Amino acid sequence: MIDFELAPEQEEGMKAAHDFARERFRPVSRYYDEQEHEDPKELIDRMWEERNKGTLALGLDVTAALRIEELCWGDAGLFLCVPGPGLGGAAVFASGTKEQMERFLGRFNEGGPKWGAMAMTEPACGSDTSAIATTAVRDGDEWVLNGEKIFVTWGKRAVENPESLVVVWATVDKSAGRAGMKSFVVPAGTPGMRVEKLEKKLGIRASDTATIVLDNCRIPFENILGSPDVKKADKSETKGFKGAMATFDATRPIVGAMAIGVGRAALDFVKEAVENEGIKIRYGVPRHKLTALERDIMEMEANYKAAKLLTLRALWMMSQLQPNSLESSMAKAKAGLAVTRITQKAVEIMGPLGYSRKCLLEKWMRDAKINDIFEGTGQINMLVTARRVLNYSRDQLK
């Protein structure tokens, strides 16, 4: 029997996250949308404090997804300011040794706010990770990194805040293609790593998105995640390129949770507005007897619920140590598409009010689109899903 009831601690965590989002995020949501690149310092300090108390404790499981949905219901951009190991930490978790996990992730349990970013995308390399041009050359007991990374979420905060880190994907052997791709932990403040610029974005403006340059950046040899041996790494299920994919299997459902939070914010807004006008949604009535408004809202609800169930399923499988590559890609693809449609339809339904800046609806529509882009575009995740379902290789289905 399938049971969708939440445990008491999950309900408490959701309520705490929802209250924090309503009281702390919503009141300043518009301000930080308009003041792009201004650090919400007081809010960050408060989030770090709440995280350490357990109120905003996040992770890579169902409970974390439920909290993330609530926080992104408040503001997705401000959620992306919550200090923690983030994508960089997920990469360490997916590809690192036990000693590396303790050394790099243990720092997030003490001191002041810190962030873990992941730098993969390059000016000439987006979805095709085999085209990564950033190099890592061994020089004695060190690695020397050279290259440029773009669209790095948390880039500025991870580079400039003490004890933070950036996980950089680079190639140790260009001729080996994907097998030569490795990940390296670069601590904040490392000479040779700098922020080149910050992006001006359509949405999630409170989150810094940076270009990072690596110029003869030297790190200790032991900061490589996984084996430096290309052949050994190529045969491993958790190192090299497959380690990168394992990272995405963990983080894509988290992006799904972000998306459903934004989608629910828009859906709640529209349903409340309709209710205030005295319009009742008639559930259980045959579709051909429904009004266009009723059909639109029901379709929005169906997309939201489908995306949420796929997201929770992918995270539950991961928490049970089950392979979830198919499920994580399905969740990410569905959630990105669903939140885009939900927020656009919400703006359409509300008309001029939805398009105006009097409310946050137009902002949610702008914030929504990123969920269909980062952590693998919707098209890429559809492609991954098709390969898994049809049992096709990369060469058979491109």
Residue 294 DSSP symbol: H
Q: How far apart are CA 15 and CA 23, in angstroms?
A: 12
User: Is the Cα torsion angle 314, 315, 320, 322 positive or negative in sign?
Assistant: positive
Based on the residue annotation, tell me whether 122 is a catalytic residue of this protein: no
Q: How far apart are CA 84 and CA 153, in angstroms?
A: 13
Tell me which H or E stretch contains 396. none
Q: How many residues does the chain have?
A: 398
Q: How far apart are CA 262 and CA 362, in angstroms?
A: 11
Q: Compute the C-alpha angle 61/63/69, nearest 5°.
A: 100
If DSSP codes are grouped into helix, strand and coil, which group holds residue 210? strand
Residue closest to 119 by CA, chosen among 190, 204, 53, 14: 190
Are 90 and 60 in contact, with CB atoms under 8 Å apart?
Answer: yes
**Which residue is catalytic, options 69, 122, 362, 375?**
375
Are 108 and 116 in contact, with CB atoms under 8 Å apart?
Answer: yes
Angle between helices 361-368 and 325-350 (to 10 degrees): 150
If DSSP codes are grouped into helix, strand and coil, which group holds residue 371? helix
Say which amino acid occupies 332.
K
Q: How far apart are CA 391 and CA 105, in angstroms?
A: 36
N-term to C-term CA, the chain: 39
Residue 295 DSSP symbol: H
Are 132 and 120 in contact, with CB atoms under 8 Å apart?
Answer: yes
Catalytic residues: 375
